[in-house]
């Protein structure tokens, strides 16, 4: 059923309203990725003297950030950086994506007041902080995980991203407390769906589309698990 939800999300990619959100969301995702990457490079430049070497070449901050070689490095780093980008994405475009999905697939549902963007942004920042802290703590386990590192990375981030996406989609319809209760009832399914979302986030270029498709998929999932909500 999760794959059915994802299939519905993909099938809507080229609808008029959805395509507009896709274009804006894709552009913003790239900007967010570039911004996170820029902060990452700035931090490395700050903690190292003048320059540093990565993958056998010297990085000198501004010049390297804007070079084609840096763009290739950013694509490689997106394997890890797209997880926080996907987290930040929800507070910015969730409302528009969920509304477009519901307009096509669930037209009989009553309209809901637009979720206050300040509240959505606050929740996104909170989830983002949890995501960063957990991944920093997980670095200790990664040392001992060996070849299981990708599975551990997908499982942990899948749990966190699934929790965030489902919670925020559900809150639009049933409020914060009921959304949390629904999330606990369907914890296993949400974790699996989040993990399936985290895996393609590790694939450069493909991962640019996943935050938007993730919101759409979790919108379908919510209405399947809580029909009539």
The span from the CA of 156 to the CA of 81, in Å, is 15
Sign of CA dihedral 91, 222, 101, 206: positive
Binning pLDDT at 50, 70 and 90, where does residue 77 land? low
**Best-predicted range by mean pLDDT among 66-75, 192-201, 206-215?**
192-201
Binning pLDDT at 50, 70 and 90, where does residue 149 land? confident
Supply the pLDDT for residue 131.
Answer: 79
The span from the CA of 2 to the CA of 217, in Å, is 8
Instruction: Determine the 3-state secondary structure of 205 from DSSP.
Output: coil
For 104, the domain range is 2-225
Stronger pLDDT, 122 or 61, i.e. the higher one: 122
Strands (E), the chain: 52-54, 57-59
Stronger pLDDT, 122 or 154, i.e. the higher one: 154
Phi-psi map region of 227: left, alpha, beta (phi>0 left; psi -120 to 50 alpha)? beta
Domain count across the chain: 1
| Total-model pTM | 0.76
Supply the pLDDT for residue 123.
Answer: 77
The span from the CA of 172 to the CA of 195, in Å, is 23
**How crowded is residue 168: how many other Cβ atoms within 10 Å of its Cβ?**
25
Supply the pLDDT for residue 190.
Answer: 96
Supply the pLDDT for residue 206.
Answer: 80
Per-residue pLDDT at 182 exceeds 90: yes
Sign of CA dihedral 204, 122, 39, 148: negative
Adjacent-strand bridge partners of 54: 57
């Amino acid at each position: 059923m999760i794959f059915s939800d994802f299939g519905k999300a993909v099938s809507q990619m080229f609808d008029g309203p959805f395509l507009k959100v896709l274009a804006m969301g894709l552009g913003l995702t790239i900007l967010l990725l570039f911004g996170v990457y820029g902060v990452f490079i700035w931090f490395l430049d700050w903690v190292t003297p003048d320059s540093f070497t990565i993958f056998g070449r010297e990085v000198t901050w501004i010049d390297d950030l804007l070079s084609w070689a840096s763009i290739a490095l950013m694509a490689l780093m997106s394997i890890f950086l797209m997880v926080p980008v996907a987290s930040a994405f929800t507070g910015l475009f969730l409302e528009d994506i969920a509304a477009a999905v519901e307009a096509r697939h669930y037209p009989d549902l009553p309209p809901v007041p637009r979720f206050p963007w300040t509240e959505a942004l606050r929740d996104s920042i909170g989830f983002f902080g949890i995501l960063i802290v957990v991944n920093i703590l997980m670095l200790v386990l990664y040392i001992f995980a060996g070849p299981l590192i990708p599975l551990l990375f997908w499982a942990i981030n899948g749990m966190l991203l699934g929790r965030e996406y489902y919670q925020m989609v559900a809150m639009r319809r049933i409020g914060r407390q009921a959304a949390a209760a629904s999330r606990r009832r369907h914890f296993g399914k949400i974790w699996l769906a989040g993990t399936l979302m985290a895996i393609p986030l590790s694939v450069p270029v493909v991962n640019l589309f996943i935050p938007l498709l993730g919101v759409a998929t979790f919108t379908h999932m919510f209405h399947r698990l809580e029909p009539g909500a």
